[in-house]
Structure 1
Amino acid sequence: MTQPATNKSITYLNESPFEIPFPENALDEPDGLCAMGGDLSKTRLINMYQHGFFPWYSEPDPILWWHPKERCALFPTDFHLSRSLKKHIKKQTWTVKVNTSFSDVIQACSDSRADKEGTWISNDIKNAYSALHRSGVAHSIEVWEGDLLIGGLYGVCLGRVFFGESMFSRKENASKTALYALCQHANAANIHLIDCQVESDHLITLGATLIPRIKFCDLLDDYCTPPQLNGYLQLNSILPIQV
């Protein structure tokens, strides 16, 4: 449960990776900016995610931590499989794999962002999430056409929540297929909620919804304590797609 803010202001983090700002102190403009500084250590990242924060900044700026007033999130059973997407997937011979090429996925996400609006997925971000991946905390969902990586996404999985970070497509609907496969196997993976962070029209059309901050924090209290690792998302596993 979050505590009501008395004076909204940015928290400057100290050296302790266990320091957690109050989400309700996040600024209204820009929406969700709550803290600055700290580092991207494994311990801090896990603690911050467990409480609903995520880092989003561009170098050479300091690390900025966000906790929006309304959280864009997707309950896996709410994924909207449109007729056109279903038809598209049926025609493909794609394979969805887990954790076979994490570094390539995060690099592709970085390249994709750079082509559009400039990337926030810096070398520090890549190194930090690669360390989480080696620890079994961060995962990649990959769409392959033969031996060609054509789309995917990566994120952090703690308990029953998958915190999505970024996705990319090199062919039409490839990233949607990765998300659909994750939702389709969410029950087996014991994933109850996928955090999409910031609202977009694209995510809303796929079934995502907006959750008030306090409710989102309550869900994390239920789903992420303790922040257990997800054993279903194993290295080299394949997620069969059914449409």
Structure 2
Amino acid sequence: MDKLTADDLIYGYINGIFPMADADGTLYWYAPDPRAIIPLDTYKPSKSLRPVLNRNQFEIRINTSFKEVMKCCSAPRSDDDSVWISDEIINAYTELHYMGLAHSVETYIDNRLVGGLYGVSLGSAFFGESMFNRVDNASKVAFHHLVLILRQQQFTLLDTQFINDNVRRYGAIEIPKADYLRQLKMALRQKVRFTESAPLIKTSQTRE
């Protein structure tokens, strides 16, 4: 396969597949069955997160440091953690970001990036890719604001790909691949925009 491009990513997502890199940088495409999604209408912040949200400890920004968020997400969490976000993947998603189809939600303290997440939006579907945090609760707050944005803009599908303990805490469930593809097809038919609403969150829209 030639170098991964933004067009490759678009084609993959609309067909229910996504890339991950092996340790040597080799790209593979995945289509999990079952597929993990997070129902947008049932998500609720945990009891422990609510005081954090009320304290307004973090400043939230949207799309101001997309590539940096990806690089932070690509760092191994532990000595035995495998890295699947290669430089090729970072470059392709950054290209998609400049096309207005890949987005980051970032958390800051004293103007320092301490957490965030990134993903892809097509139609009314958002494909969550990865998140990171350098301070407790930083990624949880970023995810909470992601859901607020998706709800306000009437997104219908939040794809989280694989089930694990991290996404379970946000209410992730597994559905058969066939059901996922039906939901994806319907979501792609609806035109919505990924944009924050000023009354909810303090953000900046400047792109890198």
Report if TM-score (shorter chain) is over 0.5. yes
What is the distance in 2 between the residues matched to 1:116 and 1:95? 32
Residues 127-185 of structure 1 show CA distances to partners (whole Å, capped at 9, x for unaligned) of: 10110001111100101112011100001100111101110011111111111111122
Residues 166-208 of structure 1 show CA distances to partners (whole Å, capped at 9, x for unaligned) of: 1001111111111111112212223222111110122112111
Structure 1 residues 121 and 168, CA gap change in structure 2 (3 angstroms): same
What is the distance in 1 between the residues matched to 2:10 and 2:77? 24
Q: Tell me whether 1:42 sits opposite 2:19 in the alignment.
A: no
Cα deviation for residue 60 of structure 1 reads: 2.8
Residue in structure 2 matched with residue 133 of structure 1 by the alignment: 97
Q: Tell me whether 1:240 sits opposite 2:204 in the alignment.
A: no
What is the distance in 1 between the residues matched to 2:57 and 2:10? 36
Contact 1:142 1:151 in 2 (8 A): yes
Cα deviation for residue 224 of structure 1 reads: 1.1
Contact 2:149 2:196 in 1 (8 A): no
What is the distance in 2 between the residues matched to 1:65 and 1:82? 33
TM, length-normalised to structure 1: 0.76
Q: Tell me whether 1:94 sits opposite 2:74 in the alignment.
A: no
What is the distance in 2 between the residues matched to 1:70 and 1:143? 31
- The equivalent position to 2:181 in structure 1, one of 217, 223, 227, is 217
Cα deviation for residue 77 of structure 1 reads: 2.2
Contact 1:152 1:174 in 2 (8 A): yes
Structure 1 residues 181 and 112, CA gap change in structure 2 (3 angstroms): farther
Paired residue secondary structure (1:82): coil
What is the correspondence of 1:40-189 to structure 2 with a 5 Å cutoff? 40-60=4-24, 62-113=26-77, 117-189=81-153
Paired residue secondary structure (1:162): strand
Structure 1 residues 200 and 97, CA gap change in structure 2 (3 angstroms): same
What is the one-letter code of the residue matched to 1:137?
L
TM, length-normalised to structure 2: 0.88
Instruction: Give unmatched runs, 5+ long, in structure 2.
Output: 203-208
Contact 2:150 2:194 in 1 (8 A): no
Paired residue secondary structure (1:56): strand
Structure of larger gyration radius: 1
What is the distance in 2 between the residues matched to 1:82 and 1:187? 18
Cα deviation for residue 124 of structure 1 reads: 0.4
- Identity, % of aligned positions: 34
What is the distance in 1 between the residues matched to 2:17 and 2:3? 13
What is the distance in 2 between the residues matched to 1:238 and 1:99? 18
Cα deviation for residue 62 of structure 1 reads: 3.2
Contact 2:35 2:176 in 1 (8 A): yes
Q: Tell me whether 1:203 sits opposite 2:164 in the alignment.
A: no
- Report which structure shows greater RCO (CA 8 Å, sep ≥6): 2
- The equivalent position to 1:230 in structure 2, one of 193, 198, 205, is 193
Give the number of equivalent residue pairs.
202
What is the distance in 2 between the residues matched to 1:82 and 1:230? 27
Cα deviation for residue 231 of structure 1 reads: 4.9
